[in-house]
Amino acid sequence: MFHFCLHSIKVCDLIGTIGYHRSNCSMILEWMHRMKKRHGKKACATYESGMVSFEDFPTDQGPIWILGKKYDLSQHQLEARLDVLSRLWFTYRKGFSNIGGTGPTTDQGWGCMLRCGQMMLAQALVYKHLGRDWRWRPQEQDETYLKILQLFLDKKDSCFSIHQIAQMGVGEGKKVGDWFGPNTVGQVIRKLSPFDSWSDLAVHVALDNTVVIEDIRKLCTVNSTTEETSSEGSKTGSERRKRTSSSENIRHKMQLSPENTNIQLPNGLMEGACVSPGGVSWRSLFLIIPLRLGLNEINTVYMQRLKRCFTLPQSLGVIGGKPNHAHYFIGVLGDEMVYLDPHTTQPAADIDKWAFLQDESFHCEHASRMPIKNLDPSIGLGFYCHSEDDFNSWCRNIQYVISDGDLSPMFELTETRPKHWPPFEPNSASIEPSFEIRDCEYPDEDFHNNSDEEFEFL
């Protein structure tokens, strides 16, 4: 059971009372100082693996980067902590309905990477619907924020619930209860995204350490001429995008209905699409890049480049961690990675009979840190590009981030699709078998010393 030593008065309660203004910073810090003297120097949390200690971000070290934002800790430690507190935090849960009707009622022990994928996707949706500068206020629940949160509640009719992700993983060769790797969770999110028509997020999972620009443009660009229908068709309400056929295919395979997946077959351009002159709209992009940056440990030549990824404004962080022990990395401080840890078990949360959702358990008061050298080499990079201009900016800047002199880059960015690759199908519910990254079969004695997915070694 998870508990904070500083539990008699929560930081979030105090923040909700006095707000975020800088003039209140000294008050909050003074309160934190008094609580630490009363309960000990460190705030502690009980995890399944024992006691894990949390320390405040040190004010005597260099700046911290959190998902593209830089904070000088000597002056803005509180702002950095509020940024962490505002990220959606998904952990193990227990007591939810059986997955698949007869499956497990908890994901403890196997769902950490699924939860990390949820956190990264949730951050992309916060970017899209609320913006990067949105901050959580416990006493002021925003309607849009609650709508995002409900997509992840632990029940079968939530679009990105543990139920939907675990069951969709069956199509990726994973039984319910199996551990996922970064690529698998990315592929599952990609297949589930068409069901969230409200967000209309274009999800792309890069293959073979290569990001193909023309593939992403095909995926994100929607020409209004492809959505025009005859007057007779409009009278019958049959206007649909061509790409909805993949949504129907997925729904058929999962035996889901529009009512219990929050999907609405769209008419015309989607809400939130960025429309440019000429009737062309751009769907916001969630880009996932699975990588393996070494054999059994991360190659030192990639450490600085990985840290630089957190400086980009499009950064959604990294999912990874250690073999069979995943974390969601949201920042970097010196040579340490800042992360949210899903490895605590909380009761399943849901909307009560008064239509209220107790959401404090979806926010973490303290981030954890680990040396970057301890990071497992199997990771998934995440980026969010809200508009075409944003994507063009990312394409320009990422080249300087992932390259270092004459050394090979972390991954390739190419304008066109390699000739030996099969044609790209933007709305396909599956990927070509020859390009699917499948789990390795390790000998039993080596299982705990290796990551779970096969990549081209860089």
d(CA 386, CA 130): 12
Q: Give the whole-angstrom CA distance, residue 71 versus residue 285.
A: 26
In the Cβ-directed half-sphere of 455, how many Cα atoms lie within 13 Å?
A: 29
Q: Rg (Cα) of the chain, in Å, rounded? A: 22
Asked whether the beta carbons of 360 and 12 are under 8 A apart, the reply is yes
Burial 99-110 (b: 16+ CB within 10 A, else e): beeeebebbbeb
3-state SS class at 81 = helix
Please list the active-site residues.
Answer: 112, 341, 343
CB 141 within 8 A of CB 359: yes
348: exposed, middle or buried (Cβ count in 10 Å: 0-12, 13-18, 19+) = middle
**H-helix segments, 140-278:** 143-150, 162-168, 182-192, 213-220, 231-235, 244-254
Query: What is the per-residue burial (b if ≥16 Cβ within 10 Å, else e) of 254-265?
Result: bebeeeebbbee
DSSP state of 161: S
Look at the block and give the residue holding tokens 């000739």. 419
What are the backbone dihedrals phi and psi of residue 28, each rounded to the nearest 5 degrees, phi first?
-65, -45
From CA 76, how far away is CA 25, in angstroms rounded?
Answer: 9
- Kindly report the length of the chain: 458
What Å distances lie between residue 290 and 180, 293, 342, 454, CA to CA? Answer: 13, 10, 20, 10
Instruction: Identify whether the C-beta of residue 84 lies closer than 8 Å to the C-beta of residue 364.
Output: yes
447: nearest Cα among 325, 351, 324, 356: 324
Q: Which position has the token pair 């309905």? A: 97
Q: What is the Cβ-side half-sphere exposure of residue 317, based on CA atoms within 13 angstroms?
A: 29
Between CA 209 and CA 216, with CA 214 as vertex, the angle to 5 degrees is 70
